[in-house]
Amino acid sequence: MECEFPTVNANNDEIRSILNDIKTIAVLGLSPDPTKDSYRVAQYLHNAGYTIIPVYPKEETILGQKVYRSLEEIPFPVDMVNIFRKSDALNAIADACIKRGDIKVFWAQKGIVNNEAAQRVRNAGMRVVQNHCSMVEHRRFYS
């Protein structure tokens, strides 16, 4: 497996601005298991005041919120996608984000990088963060 270095990425000022501007976050790959990173990060962000929209292939609710099976199923605007999926899934996620047209931020969590997908969403007008944990970044700026 080859690791990719993020060449398309937000800087510290952009990350702070993103965390200040967004309100709704679709968490792709949000596990119902409280021991998983996706759950802990989403719970933290929910407690920090963001609206969390779980996207997961199973379950009916996670963190007390209705679960959607895909980004396409969400019937209301979404500010940011927070991605807990493998890097090779980012191309299809980028396509879904571009198709929706309302996503402002494409955020791939720590260890997740796909520069091709990131460049495509940036070209479509989205802000991009790769290989950063949204919880860690929020704590860094707001704790």
Q: Rounded distance, CA 82 to CA 24, Å?
A: 10
Q: Which CATH architecture has domain 12-142?
A: 3-Layer(aba) Sandwich (3.40)
Q: Report the 10 Å Cβ neighbour count for 11.
A: 9
Predicted TM-score (pTM) of this structure:
0.95
Q: Which helix (H) or strand (E) holds 41?
A: helix 37-47
**Token match 């989403």: residue?**
42
Q: Tell me the longest C-alpha to C-alpha distance in the chain.
A: 37
What pLDDT band is residue 1 in, cutting at 50, 70 and 90? very low
What pLDDT band is residue 2 in, cutting at 50, 70 and 90? low
Decide if pLDDT at 109 tops 70. Answer: yes
The C-alpha torsion from 100 through 64 and 27 to 18, rounded to 10°, is 90
